[in-house]
Structure 1
Amino acid sequence: MDKDALAASAQRHALPWVIVGLVAILALGGGVAWYFLREKPIAVSVALVEQARAANATMDTGPVLNASGYVVARRISTPSSKITAQVKAVFVEEGMSVKEGDVLAVLDDTTPRRQLALAESQVIAARKGVNEFDVRLKEARRTLERNASLYEQKLISESALDASRADVNALEAKLSLTRSQVEVALRSVDVAAQGVDDTTIRAPFSGVVVSKDAQPGEMISPISAGGGFTRTGICTLVDMDSLEIEVDVNEAFINRVVADQRVEATLDAYPDWRIPAHVISIVPTADRQKATVKVRIGFDAKDTRILPDMGIQVQFMDAPKLEGATAQTGPGAPIVSIQAVTNIHGQDYVYVVKDETVERRAIRLGPVLGGRAQILAGLQPGETIVIKPPAELTDGAKITINPDTGKQ
């Protein structure tokens, strides 16, 4: 019994030390586990979200049709005269820029000025006639009043009174006619003055003179007189801001062309210069003889090297349709490497770097070309994203940037 009691007492005294030992072992094990199992930053490669340039903003996938044509001007004019006359002076030369209303040439105005002087003289004569008949009418009315008084006194016959009335009526009619003649003469002055003004030929719009067609001393007429001795125009004026491209597309391929389609043009004179352009419209008629349809193409920007009648080659680009595209399409839209995009259950995501962590952000993916994708929504140029995100990367995870990549 004494031995059993001693053993039990020893066990009671040893139990607290056993518990302390177990607690120490557990604490040590937990510390070791925390050390080995704690969250470590995930090493990633990153890049900046780029901004689409104007040259590739539409993400063209390549040409679908080639064609050739010419540079044409929508506004081109050969200013002429309204009258047949001799050219007195020409004030323009080839290559000269003019503004709307500038004087291009003047014609001999000898005859028109004589006609104006004659019309003005007719006005003066007609007004003198008005004054004369006005005086005579006043005198006739006074005579009528006297004769009426004499008739009441039985001093003159009724026929004499009637004659006085007839004189008044006749003079009133002549005065009215003369006043009408004054109005006609004034209209003749306006016509003659317009004839003088027509001897000055002005620019109908602002543009550049591309040819000088008349010289001083030559005759000019609004219609051709035949024989080659009469000019029908002073010069040829082109509005350079109206330049565009006209091409004939085979009707079998016209289905590849649509309005506003992107076009890349190359002038025969500058084969290394790529000119961005776009389809203005498809002319709604076909040429039966050539089996072609005319297409109008506009330049995105004007350039002094582009001249009328230059030969030009065009490529119609195949731009994919962006369904639901937002304002982020076009120049300035975000462009990223397709390797940065992760698809989870049909939704596209990218990991955006926020300090030392990442944010998983949903995006709307646009067209992809050459390993680069246009982002329609969800990103802004200049943000930093993860390239080739590791499988263990999650929203809010801590990261460390690979020193060999940095922000590309």
Structure 2
Amino acid sequence: MLVNRYKYLIIIVLLFFLAGFFLFRWWQGPLLSGYEVVSSPLVQTVVASGRVETVSRAQIGSEITGVVLERLIQEGDRVSRGDLLLLLKSDEIAAQVRQAEAELTELAASRRPQAEVDLANAKVQLQQAEREAARRRNTELGILSAEEREKSIEAERLARNNLELARLKVAALAPGQAEETMLRERLAALQAQLAKTKIRAEVSGTVLTRNVEPGDLVQPSQTLFTIALDGATEIRVPFDERNLPLLALQQKAAVIADAYPDQAFPAHINFIAPSIDAQRGTVDVRLTVDPVPDFLRQDMTVSVNVETNKRERTLVIPNDALSSISGKKAMVILVRDGKIQRHSITLGLRGLVMSEVVAGLKEGDQVLADAESALKDGTRVRLEQKQRGLQHQADQTDSKNELPVKFD
């Protein structure tokens, strides 16, 4: 009987303590997640996606219409100025070149010597006509008629004209004169046309595209190859226009190619477009890459993280603890002496994950993680510190191309 009494007494005491514990917990309030305001380094960055571009590209085409005989390069090949890229069928033009060369040979071997012989003959004929005319002029009128004398004079005049024509012909066919110049110009024009059947690189660079195969008929308006010129490599990034106030020339950036996520490389801003793309609401920014990694390729997709500002040490707070953000002002739910109260703070650097606290909080203050909590001010709560991880860096992210960023 006595044992049963002790047993009941123990049960009653346990129930009493249990009820007291739950009453105390009820008095303390619900268990909520929260953060502690800490002081740490802070780096603000602007993050977006872009593409790799060379500064210049050259589009290679044909100056004449022709059929492709042979293609000697393909995408990715490295070419130098003067390298042969493509051969066009050239039978007809080559035949015309040979004909023009034959005409020059004929000029030197046949027409020019013949003209000199004709000139010599014309001189002889003139001398003979002059002698004949002189004899007839000295003959008395009774022996020769006036008509015969006139014929001798006319023959002399024709012989002199023939001599002059022969001299002009010899002069025209002489080396370096009109006839040879005309033939050489025609040969040069045909040789130039023949050279156009061999399409060569006018610049040094890397072949990006090819749009031709053997057997194709190409025309002057057609682009056959696109070559990325040797020189500086740039990254073109369309940043959201809201980030424009944060961007400046020569700002440094860390770049990561999507294909090589473990190999970040440096770049810096060298151009900010003076206008905004109204349709996309973006501003074009170009960054120079130097040195250029070996793995970087034209049109690669990259993630660009531009450092826009930094603090060596400052108070930081996670963004999910903020509410009613208006400009630099925001509200937090502060936890003091186990009770909550809404509190206005002033922000500095802001980012996707963390923001700087300029005024309104001090190091060690605790705030609720749920900035939109419906609990009334003065409500008692118990705070559970959230695992903050690596949160010492702030960023700005392009909302049109948002990328996850870690903070450390």
The TM-score, its normalising length taken from structure 1, stands at 0.54
Alpha-carbon distance in structure 2 between the residues aligned to 1:135 and 1:254: 87
Alpha-carbon distance in structure 2 between the residues aligned to 1:288 and 1:148: 94
Alpha-carbon distance in structure 2 between the residues aligned to 1:217 and 1:71: 34
- 8 A contact 2:52–2:236 mirrored in 1: yes
From 258, 270, 282, the counterpart of 1:292: 282
- 8 A contact 1:63–1:315 mirrored in 2: no
| Aligned residue type for 1:312 | V
From 205, 208, 224, the counterpart of 2:206: 208
Match of 2:263 in 1: 273
Match of 1:400 in 2: none
Structure in which a larger fraction of residues adopt strand: 2
Match of 1:172 in 2: 167
- Matched position secondary structure for 1:316: strand
Match of 2:122 in 1: 140
- Matched position secondary structure for 1:77: strand
User: How much does 1:286 deviate?
Assistant: 4.2
Return closer, same or farther for 1:142/1:202 CA change in 2, 3 Å cut-off: same
- Matched position secondary structure for 2:155: helix
Question: Which structure 1 residue ranges, 5 or more long, are not aligned?
Answer: 1-59, 225-231, 321-408
- 8 A contact 1:264–1:276 mirrored in 2: yes
Query: C-alpha offsets along residues 205-257 of structure 1, whole Å, 9 cap, x if unaligned?
Result: 33333444322222222224xxxxxxx41x44334644311122344543433
- 8 A contact 1:282–1:296 mirrored in 2: yes
Match of 1:131 in 2: 113
Alpha-carbon distance in structure 1 between the residues aligned to 2:179 and 2:228: 46
- 8 A contact 2:97–2:187 mirrored in 1: yes
- 8 A contact 2:126–2:160 mirrored in 1: yes
Return closer, same or farther for 1:270/1:172 CA change in 2, 3 Å cut-off: same
Match of 1:198 in 2: 196
Alpha-carbon distance in structure 1 between the residues aligned to 2:275 and 2:122: 76
User: How much does 1:145 deviate?
Assistant: 4.7
Alpha-carbon distance in structure 2 between the residues aligned to 1:169 and 1:268: 84
Alpha-carbon distance in structure 2 between the residues aligned to 1:256 and 1:150: 107
Alpha-carbon distance in structure 1 between the residues aligned to 2:130 and 2:82: 65
Match of 2:252 in 1: 262
Alpha-carbon distance in structure 2 between the residues aligned to 1:162 and 1:246: 84
Query: C-alpha offsets along residues 113-151 of structure 1, whole Å, 9 cap, x if unaligned?
Result: 112112212323444333322321233234435545665
After superposition, where does 1:74-113 map in structure 2 within 5 Å? Answer: 74-113=55-94
Query: C-alpha offsets along residues 28-76 of structure 1, whole Å, 9 cap, x if unaligned?
Result: xxxxxxxxxxxxxxxxxxxxxxxxxxxxxxxx97345333221112233
After superposition, where does 1:1-400 map in structure 2 within 5 Å? Answer: 62-127=43-108, 128-145=110-127, 147-148=129-130, 154=137, 157-178=152-173, 179-224=177-222, 232-233=223-224, 235-239=225-229, 241-318=231-308
- 8 A contact 2:247–2:308 mirrored in 1: no
Alpha-carbon distance in structure 2 between the residues aligned to 1:175 and 1:292: 75
Alpha-carbon distance in structure 1 between the residues aligned to 2:65 and 2:183: 24
Return closer, same or farther for 1:218/1:276 CA change in 2, 3 Å cut-off: same
Alpha-carbon distance in structure 2 between the residues aligned to 1:63 and 1:107: 57
Return closer, same or farther for 1:63/1:170 CA change in 2, 3 Å cut-off: farther
Alpha-carbon distance in structure 2 between the residues aligned to 1:249 and 1:268: 18
The alignment covers a number of residue pairs equal to: 253
Alpha-carbon distance in structure 1 between the residues aligned to 2:114 and 2:217: 45
User: How much does 1:204 deviate?
Assistant: 2.7
Alpha-carbon distance in structure 2 between the residues aligned to 1:119 and 1:67: 63
Question: Which structure 2 residue ranges, 5 or more long, are not aligned?
Answer: 1-40, 139-148, 311-408
